[in-house]
Structure 1
Amino acid sequence: MGFFVVCVLKEAKTVISDKVVKVSPTDSFQFHDIFNAATNEQFESYGVQVFLRKPPEKWVYVEEGLEGDISMLFELKFTHIKFVLEATEASVQEPQGPNAFDLLMRNSQLVCLPEQRKEDTRRDLLYNDIIKLLQSKEVGWKSGTHSTLGKSFVERLTAALWYIDPHCTKFTERSLSLGEFFDGLNQYRHDQHYNLFYFTGRHAKYNLMRDKLEQLASSLELSAVQPWATNEQWCNITEEVFILTSSMQKYASNLEKINKSMKQIHLSDTPARHPANDLIVYTIDSCRKIDAQYKQLQDHLLNVDYYTEVDLESFLPKDAIQRYRYIKDLQIQFPVTLYRYYQGNYLGTINYIWKVPSNSEVQSETAHARVITTIQEKLPQYFSRQMRKNYSLVKTITPAILRILYYDLTGDAAVASNSISKELEERLRLMLELEDPSIICDLRQNNGFKGTKFDTFWNEMNAYFNENLPAVNDRRHGNVLYMPLAISIRDLRNIFIQRLDEKFVPGTILIPSEEWIHLQFQPTNPIAKSAKQYTGRFNIKFMVQARQLRKDHPDTHYCATLFRYLREFAILYRQYVSFICADDKHKVPIGEGVNTSTGVRNKKTMVFQETSLVACDHDFTKLSLTPSVIFFCNIPESIENSFYSGKVFVSFKDTVFQSSSAIRHTTEFYNAISTYHSGNIPPILCLYTDGGPDHRTIFGSVQISLICLFLHGDFDMLIAMRTAPHHSWTNPAERIMSILNLGLQGVALVRDVMGPESETAFAKLDTLDEIRTAAKTNPTLQNDLRECIKRVQQLLEGRTERLVLHNEPIQCYNPADETTIDEFFNIILLIDQTLKISETTSDILSKKTHLQQFMKTHCRQRQYVFQIKKCGQSSCTICKSVQLPHDVFDSLDWLPDPIPSTVDKDHYAKFQTVYQSETTEQHRPTLITTIANSERASSSILVNTRVREFIQCFQCGRMRCLYSERALSAEDKIACQIAIDNWDYSCGSPLVPEDHILYNKVFVREKLVAKHQWNWHIIHAENLMLIVMFVIGKDIFVRGEIKTNTRAAKRRKINN
């Protein structure tokens, strides 16, 4: 008797999955009997092929088919049987009724418009009116795309018109047209608005924003450049759409220009307007006859002396246009001088006029200057925001000090207004003259508790500081400290408790609080208000240092949603998940013969009052250590709670011989997981890292390393996710770095001295590559380099293990060595024996058949996520049995991709909505942009070697290259030349229509836009190299170089 695994397939699809069938060798069975027993005689009308195998060998075809004798199963020791169904004439039924394919093809050609909305709001009314307007133009989208592409276009057009609807007059005043097409909308035909709430609602009226305008315009253009918009029926409409977007972009540019100008004015230390720059003075000659409107002004000037200024404000009309004409056409029967100062903005112009003698020889320039000086003293003064800010910086100085400074600077001899102020000013003046700090009493010595119960602690504290004082003075500078006294107040307090427990009976000495210990030091800022609380018992203070930066990325929101999905996934399977966040800290430099700072300047450190915390100012070193953090997060019960708690593992890797790599990280992950979970490893692992080359999930080396970790840990599922570019700060492990800074702050490191031979050889090496190359041929140098930094590693590990996260001490571990890493990698040979640890690039891995088959059945790859899951098949020779309960494993699904919410398009759907549903990356912003900007032809065609012809744009005059994969035949050349001669080509459009024979043969770059891009190629023809560059709106440069006897010929310039 034997047991066999049977399955039935039809057209490469499994009809009956694997099932076990019992067969006796004595029975005179044929394969036909086993087939009927497995299928219950459901497929009698089909032809059947029979295949046999014993894993892991390949399937073997049985020529006899169902008539074959089953005795071969026992003789050849086969264990698996596969039946493949083949369609026969009996199994193929004649189609009844209409052909479904013809119906689908017929319906796909129908032109449809998106469905209209229920008009609950005025915005829905605008949406419906746009659809009605499109319907009147007899345009639409083919069936199937009207509810996707069509709906998206109408929604974007609605959003743009709704936003600018209340501000249409602003566009009109600036001669910006919104397009004649949109004048056909129902409300616009009756000179009404759609967004009535803007005018009637009691709310703050919003102004047009540059970012919003550019966003709406770009999204609308993204729809208008899609293939459907190139159809002839859409030409007029898309042209109107581009007029609308162009007007929006011009208005946005104007807003940006105004904004920059205003920012420059606000940040300036000088007023925006000044008489020195914005003043106009000119003389108006006399005239015989004047207009009646100037009679009053002339009579007034006749009654005043020469060079006596008169303000024109009372004589000018109220209307702005009339004021302008009044001054422009000013007429007086004697000469006058006009003074005009433009204040800017809505303040208008200040105008003064005065009478001058008719005889030019009698006129006095000195009198003119005096009048101008008099007028400028009357002018109002305006200060910028920065000027007011600068002035406000002196507000913290007391009035008494301000008066003393003013007297000393100006020599003012005025006396104080009362006796108290006089006495105070005399004391301040005495202090300034004597320059003796001893005459000032430090009243802080009176602060604090005067009892004696903490005296034992204070004495021990004083002794500790005295012991560390020689460590300062024994250096090359008496006031230089190379190591802080303690990491923090808590650490300092623990040091004293440990010292006291060694001298006295534990628990018998009273210990003050951390805050009370802190107040015994010197204040960092002695003139701050908080300095009054310090006692100054110990000559100790804090010193500080810091730096940081962030950058934005289009996928930021997308990746934030992915990380939320990962956390909610971990919460859903909380009892079965291990959640790890990992990151590498910046390198810690090790000095060469001189103490070099670690570069950490994030927190104050305790030092002696008369010392400075300094280190070597050299910022270049050959050796360094790289701290690596593995953070096991405690998974909360709700997404609202924090993941920032758990166990932290840290290692300090030698940057020279223990460089960060994907396989090293996963090896250390596995070692840390085994240590943390004590052999009871959870069946699901979630990893969250930054996007560096050693963690980027799209790299083959990272994927191979994760598969090794999956196999070693025997996980049912592994999810590895990375942050968006430039957003590693979102990684919870990044927050551990601030704690590590406590152990690294204020520390200066130097390596130990090596042997003379190693020191000589090391002095000749500069880069890491040179050091690694020399170490391979010089084992002594390699060993000495490893030994000379061990003391530094032990020092940093000791300081790090004194740190805690939420009362959980940080644990250090040893970096993985090369032997351990090789052993860790070898497990992947179960999948493919040809894999090598040094050959893990994506190109090499794509040729590994067995590996690709495993990844196809067990892995899911995305831009930011790589997932591995057991297949659950008992026949799989790679996966072990499932550890999860079967009902839990059956519910386990891939982590979904974010998709837009149906409620709010600006946000992604919730995890509960999309989990256990099929999703793709189609909504990833960078993917959308890439698809939108991709050319119709492949990149291998759009190269210089495949340029066949040139064509000129009839609008901008720019030349474009025509490409084809193969050389054009004589017939194709004629067709191409006819197309060039007869058709008007425009930048960004295809060369020929879709139904033309050259449409899929000859290509032109369709994503190039005039005024922003240029198209150039270097074309070689034996000894001639021709570089062609076409630039719109500028001169065209053509350089021809004839390579003859290695001499280049000439360059010439052709004016466009």
Structure 2
Amino acid sequence: MSPVDVSISLGCCMEVGNKMVKEIYFVPIILNMLFGFTPKSELISDGHNSTTANTSQTCVPAQYAAVVSKLQESSFYEPVYLAEFEPNEAQEKRRWRIGIEKQFSFRVSMFTVRFGNFIGTGAWVWKLPDIPNTEAEISIIADIKDKLPKFSTRAIRRDFFEQYGTILKPCELQTISEGVDNRFLKFLSTCDDEELVVDLRKHNGRLADPKFDPFWAELEKYLEEHTVVDDRRATSTSYMPLAISVDDLRSKILERLPVNTPAPSASWIRLNFMPSNQFSVSALNYTGRFNVKYAVQQRLLRAQHEDAPFALHQLYMMKDMAVKYREYSHFQCLDDKAIIPPVSTGVRAHHRGLTNNSSGLQCLDHDYHLAGIVASVAFSVAIPDHPRDSFYKGTVHVTVKDKVFQESSPLRQAAENRNIMLEHYTVDGINLEQPILFRYTDGGPDHRTTYKSVKMACLLEFISLDFDMLVCVRTAPNQTYNNPAERIMSLLNLGLQNVALSRSSMPEGFEFQAKRNPKLCRKNKPFKEAYQISMADTCTIVSERFKRLKLKEESLKVHTPASDAELDQLCSMAKLIDSSFDPKNIGNFETSEKVKKFFESHSMARQYSFQMKKCKGNSPYCILNPPRLPGDVFEGLHFLPDPVSDGDNHYKPFAAVYGTKTDDKQRPSLSLKPEMTDRDKKLKHMFVGDGPGQ
């Protein structure tokens, strides 16, 4: 296609108002977009110029006589189409066009349209008076434009946006595109052929491969048996309540077929469903072979906190440090999923139309809150080569436990993490492969680094796994979405999608205790045994569903909770610091002077971080358990620095502050917190109630 020419010269008139110029300017753009050509109007003979008027010529050449005679007989502003007079051969036509500009002894204006491609160029000429009328010429151009054939190609559209995409405003581009769409819709609405309106997505993909026919037939049968229509929507699209993922659905279908039956890939199966959004670009890739939609409910709720940038930069620096010591480090993200509530027996099973299971529904209503399952996630991250690469690759470890007698606590989290590390990250089951652990958590009570119980649990884990350094960092309040382990929760939701759990029944007396006095029943040993038996099958179901899940083609590792004996064994590790330490005071290290001094000399505590590090033989523990890192590496190992402002509303990079002495006094919440005066301290008791009703 020829390049676009947006210059228009109408007659001899150069005094044109701003509005007129704007209208004229956009004429070629619109024509080129909608019809694929470029118009141009110019004065080819003014009747006075001796070089173009040909006044001395007594006769007109034969090839131009007809068109000159036609224009002489025509009235002013009556267009004459030159295609009726010019030769058919391309080269002869080009010479004829060049020569015609010298054959007129009166004022003539020519309007050309470059259609592009093989169609060539169209031209119209008309006779002008001595004093031309600009509005009349604009009217002629508009009439010619309306009568022109309308066509377009993808190349024309692409070239247009390449040339004018940065010149025109988006609203103007949208207006031009809407013109084409409106003409097409008008054509579809007026035609009587229903076959013209078809869903072309059914032709997506390769030609049908007969080897997959058994799989597609069995899939269709499975969907008819298990899918349901959402009763809250006024559509016929079904949803898949019994498949965790497309991979899981593929596995289920293969289990119903003979061994070695060919099966399409998971991505090809997904594209044979209905798209989640009919109007997205990706919907063009779907075939809609099965009127089923695979969708997962999502919810996002975020609150802001003034320390969010501060804590986030702390995470960035921890990633920098983890990459720096990548050869000697583990990177771990911890989080607990929301409690999964099993229901009691004897629930009200309604809406039986939602399933065709012959046994009917076993449970729907969660009618009390005592029972529950806690899924603790330990995401062992594969540390990348660069700190800004993805930290969402690694192995997911999930511990499924009962919330009543195996409640999540800092001590239990430390014991369970110790079991995971010894099982998967040691060669001999005793010594870890890497002696540095970086840990990132949220601000929950099990991981809040300002709590004494959390610090004590970190010390026990530090000793039991013989770490050279332990770095624990947490998110700012309401910023848990920054924790990579939080994304694992959406994966676990797939395993729990459309699942209702029911524990087995306990003896009648225990059921009565569970409903009437749930606090006292925890101290009842017979009740504990009966309850654990009642919850065993439910926990097994959840564990088996989690084992079917995968993160980047790696299956999740599901673990059993730590036993009471393992908790006692972990508590005994404190005796390596103080042989007289009482395990009953495990939640408060200040009860032991030796443990307290060990914290002062081997740890650094901040609002959003807590770190522990061995020393070079200055304490009995470090003498008996020297650093396992190479000497030069340990000498260059320092605590993770605090974010330091650069004075420009940003924080200094890790390399600029690592190895320097820092503090968290630049924390935004600290600067915004008002200082308590002596008068406030004196009258503080006035704001403390003495009892109920105060």
Tell me whether the two structures share a fold, i.e. TM-score over 0.5: yes
Alignment counterpart, residue 571 of structure 1, candidates 323, 340, 349: 323
Matched, 1:937 2:694: no
Structure 1 residue runs of 5 or longer lacking an equivalent are 1-394, 403-416, 428-440, 473-478, 598-605, 945-1015, 1021-1056
Equivalent pair of 1:590/1:596 in contact (CA under 8 Å): no
SS of equivalent residue, structure 2 residue 327 = helix
Within the alignment, does 1:866 sit opposite 2:624 as a pair? no
Residue 527 (structure 1) shift? 9.7
Residue aligning to 1:919: 662
Identity of aligned residues (%): 35
Q: Which residue of 1 aligns with 2:105?
A: none
TM-score (norm 1): 0.42
Contact 1:587 1:627 in 2 (8 A): yes
* 2:216 is equivalent to residue 458 of structure 1: yes
1:201-252, CA deviations, whole angstroms, 9 ceiling, x for partnerless residues?
xxxxxxxxxxxxxxxxxxxxxxxxxxxxxxxxxxxxxxxxxxxxxxxxxxxx
Cα distance change of structure 1 residues 515 and 928 upon mapping to structure 2, 3 Å threshold: closer
Please say if residues 201 and 284 of structure 2, whose CA atoms lie closer than 8 Å, have aligned partners that are also in contact. Answer: no
Asked whether 1:702 is paired with 2:441, we answer no
Write the distance in 1 (CA, Å) between the matches of 2:188 and 2:566: 85
Question: Secondary structure of the equivalent of 2:503?
Answer: coil
Change (3 A) 1:423 1:554: same
Give the equivalent residue in structure 1 for 2:148: none
Q: How far, CA to CA, are the matches of 1:630 and 1:853 in structure 2?
A: 30
Q: Does 1:722 align with 2:485?
A: no
Distance in 1 (CA, whole Å) between partners of 2:348 and 2:239 is 9
SS of the residue aligned with 1:453?
A: helix
CA change 1:527–1:669 in 2 (3 A) is closer
Matched, 1:674 2:422: yes
Q: Distance in 2 between matches of 1:890 and 1:908?
A: 26
Greater C-alpha radius of gyration: 1
CA distance in 2, matches of 1:719, 1:615: 44
1:492 and 2:233 equivalent?
A: no
CA 1:521–1:905 in 2, change beyond 3 Å: closer, same or farther? closer
Query: Contact (CA 8 Å) 2:441, 2:483: kept in 1 or not?
Result: yes
Change in CA separation of 1:517 and 1:594 when aligned onto 2, cut-off 3 Å: farther
Kindly provide the CA deviation profile for residues 634-673 of structure 1, in whole angstroms up to 9, marking residues without a partner as x: 1112112121111110112211111111111111111111
- Mapped partners of 1:460, 1:877: distance in 2: 65
Shift, 1:488, TM fit: 1.7
Q: After superposition, give the CA deviation of every residue in 1:702-723 in whole Å (9 maximum; x if it has no partner).
A: 1111000010011111111111
Shift of 1:419: 13
The corresponding residue for 1:174 is none
Q: Which among 878, 884, 904 is matched to residue 629 of structure 2? A: 884
Cα deviation for residue 936 of structure 1 reads: 4.8
Task: Confirm or deny: 8 A CA contact 2:272 2:290 kept in the other structure.
Answer: yes
* AA in 2 matched with 1:484: P
For the 8 Å contact 2:585–2:591, the answer to whether it is kept is no
Residue 645 (structure 1) aligns with: 393
The C-alpha deviation readout for 1:870-893, integer Å capped at 9, x for no partner, is 121166246512101111111111
Aligned twin of 1:635:
383
Distance 1:878 1:912 in 2: 29
Deviation at 1:676, TM superposition (A): 2.1
User: Structure 2 vs 1, CA of residues 854 and 625 (structure 1 numbering), >3 Å: closer, same or farther?
Assistant: same
Q: Alpha-carbon deviations, 1:556-594, whole Å to 9, x = none? A: 121112111211111111111111110111111212237
Q: SS where residue 650 of structure 1 aligns?
A: strand
Give the drift of 1:498. 4.5
**Alignment partner of 2:651 out of 908, 931, 936:** 908
The answer (yes or no) to whether the contact 1:447–1:533 under 8 Å persists in 2 is no
Alpha-carbon offset, residue 517 of structure 1: 2.4
Deviations 1:706-743 (A, max 9, x none): 00001001111111111111111111111111211211
Q: 8 Å contact 1:650–1:812 — kept in the other structure? A: yes
Going from structure 1 to structure 2, the CA distance change for 1:499 and 1:714 (only over 3 Å counts) comes to same
| SS of equivalent residue, structure 1 residue 564 | helix
Q: Distance in 1 between matches of 2:187 and 2:666?
A: 76
CA deviation after TM superposition for structure 1 residue 685, in Å: 1.2
Change (3 A) 1:527 1:763: same
Write the distance in 1 (CA, Å) between the matches of 2:226 and 2:543.
22
For 1:623, the equivalent position in structure 2 comes to: 371
Distance 1:760 1:737 in 2: 34
2-structure distance, mates of 1:529, 1:669: 44
671 and 574 in structure 1: CA distance in 2 versus 1, 3 angstrom threshold:
same
Which residue in 2 is equivalent to 1:788? 534
Cα distance in 1 between the residues matched to 2:341 and 2:365: 12
**CA 1:459–1:594 in structure 2 vs 1: closer, same or farther (change >3 Å)?**
farther
Q: How far, CA to CA, are the matches of 1:462 and 1:583 in structure 2?
A: 39
Query: 1:484 offset after TM fit, Å?
Result: 2.3
Query: In structure 1, what is the Cα distance between the partners aligned to 2:423 and 2:670?
Result: 40
Match of 1:256 in 2: none
* 2:368–2:515 contact (8 Å) kept in structure 1: no
- Tell me the TM-score normalized by structure 2: 0.63
User: Quick check: which one's strand share is greater?
Assistant: 1
Query: What residue identity is the alignment partner of 2:571?
Result: F
Q: What does residue 103 of structure 2 align with?
A: none
> In the alignment, what sits opposite 2:500?
748
Amino acid at match of 2:483: N
What's the counterpart of residue 643 of structure 2? 898
Q: 1:587 to 1:483 in 2, by over 3 A?
A: farther
In structure 2, do the counterparts of structure 1 residues 499 and 423 end up closer, same or farther at CA, with 3 Å as the change threshold? closer
Q: Which letter does structure 1 place at the counterpart of 2:601? A: T
Cα separation, 1, equivalents of 2:582 and 2:285: 66
Residue identity in the other structure for 1:846: E
Q: Closer, same or farther in 2 for the Cα pair 1:530/1:890, shift >3 Å?
A: closer
- When structure 1 is superposed on structure 2, of 748-757 and 736-745 the one drifting more is 748-757
**Deviations 1:743-788 (Å, cap 9, x if unpaired)?**
11222222222233322333324x5xx2xx21322x3321222122
Instruction: Report how far residue 616 of structure 1 moved.
Output: 3.4
Q: 1:607–1:571: structure 2 CA closer, same or farther, 3 Å change rule?
A: farther
The residue correspondences of 1:960-971 to structure 2 (distance < 5 A) are: none
Letter in 1 for 2:652: A
Check whether the contact 1:582–1:733 (CA below 8 A) recurs between aligned residues: yes
SS of equivalent to 2:439: strand
Distance across 1 between alignment mates of 2:347 and 2:374: 18
CA distance in 2, matches of 1:1018, 1:693: 24
Structure 2 match to 1:130: none
Q: Aligned to 1:583, what secondary structure does the other structure show?
A: strand
Q: Which amino acid aligns with 1:673?
A: M
1:497 offset after TM fit, Å? 3.5
